[in-house]
Amino acid sequence: MSTNDPPSPPVKGRGATFNPANRFRLDRRDACDDGWTQPCDDEQPPPLRTVVTIQRARSIIAHNDSPDIPFSQSINPYQGCEHGCIYCYARPSHAYLDLSPGIDFETKLYAKPDAANLLRAELAKPGYRCDPIALGTNTDPYQPIEREWKITRSVLEVLAAHEHPFTIVTKSALVERDIDIIAPMAAKRMARVYLSITTLDRELARRMEPRAAAPHRRLQALRTLADAGIPVGVMVAPIVPQLNDRDLEAILEAAAGSGAQSAGWVLLRLPREVAPLFREWLDVHYPLRAGHIMSLVQQMRGGRDYDSTFGVRMRGSGEFATLLEKRFAIACRRFGLNRGRREHDGLDVSRFRPPKSDGASRQGELFE
């Protein structure tokens, strides 16, 4: 959008207000008046519907060597996310699909129904090294379409069958559905679940993450999982200065009261197209505070909207970032969170049993 254009009106049930151009395309499209729209027209466009396309992936485990991320491999059953969180750092990945990171990211989704079979094949490779697999690192594994597709559940079934440890991060209470798989794995120190809670303010949550579970429902899911014997934690992510940072201590207190044992936080990240999307969203929903919020964001990002430097991209720098770090540490001590525990500490990798390869010699089974 041009900087002179007025903010686009919000789209009911969606986070983004427009579709930014795909950065890989050489051409662009501009809206123009074709003479059919009259000033008195009050006809509303049809509601945006979610479209799911099957993606035939060739592999399912994504490997990571970033020094500021506490896992080495992850699985994303879906691309795009119907939760519509306006701040989602995964939005720019939709450009690789020749789609926009804006509304397209929330409405044009890709599902990987072969995920379980792909996972089984990768676990069976002779050189595979067992290390906890993280689900929910890019898009939410329990977004609404999981109710129908059940791809995340199929992945968990494979991991459980071969006693492979895993962690889950989600904003959805749908994770309760899979307690029958997660709880037995947790009993063997092979599973952990984190609920991401951005705010306790229902109205703010509805605007920032329109199709994610309500804050109180996420807290209830924490309690349900904890009561089932599953180690649970809370992620206060992302923290947006002068928008939801006031909820930091309240979220940690409520999560601890719901059975959370650990906690983490991440500062707002605005890579590539996320920055103009977030700025537009602020202009629509919080026009009087938009300038102040972005000023503080830039103070923590070296004067820019975003700094992708390892070690800084998650936490920021400067006085306000230091204050957030101190507030988080004090609150965790106060509520008994993070008592010497990191995300994958204590997950048992010794029980892993690789699947039998389809090409394995039947004669070898005589010696088992």
For residue 108, the cross-strand partners are 51
Series of mean pLDDT values for 10-residue runs along the chain (368 residues)? 58 72 65 59 68 94 90 96 96 92 95 97 95 94 97 98 98 98 98 98 96 97 98 97 97 98 97 96 96 97 95 94 97 93 73 79 45
Q: What is the pLDDT of residue 356?
A: 86
Sign of CA dihedral 116, 120, 121, 122: positive
Q: Residue length, the chain?
A: 368
The CA distance from 18 to 182, in Å, is 38
Alpha-carbon distances, residue 140 vs 116, 166, 317 (angstroms): 17, 15, 28
Q: What is the fold of 51-350?
A: pyruvate-formate lyase- activating enzyme (3.80.30)
* pLDDT for position 360: 47
Is 0.85 topped by the overall pTM? yes
Angle at the Cα of 356 from the Cα atoms of 354 and 357, rounded to 5 degrees: 110
Task: For residues 275 and 106, give the distance between their C-alpha atoms in angstroms, rounded to a whole number.
Answer: 17
For the chain, which residues make up each domain, given as ranges?
51-350
Which pLDDT belongs to residue 340? Answer: 66
**Residue-level pLDDT at 366:** 45
Q: Nearest-CA neighbor of 232 among 197, 269, 199, 205?
A: 197
- Contacts of residue 319, Cβ cutoff 8 Å, sequence gap at least 6: 299
pLDDT of residue 1: 53
Q: Shortest CA distance to 164 belongs to which of 126, 119, 127?
A: 119
**Tell me, what's the pLDDT at 128?**
96
- Other Cβ atoms less than 10 A from the Cβ of 80: the count is 30
Can you give the pLDDT at residue 237?
Answer: 95
Residue 20's pLDDT is what? 72
H-assigned helices in 210-258: 215-227, 248-257
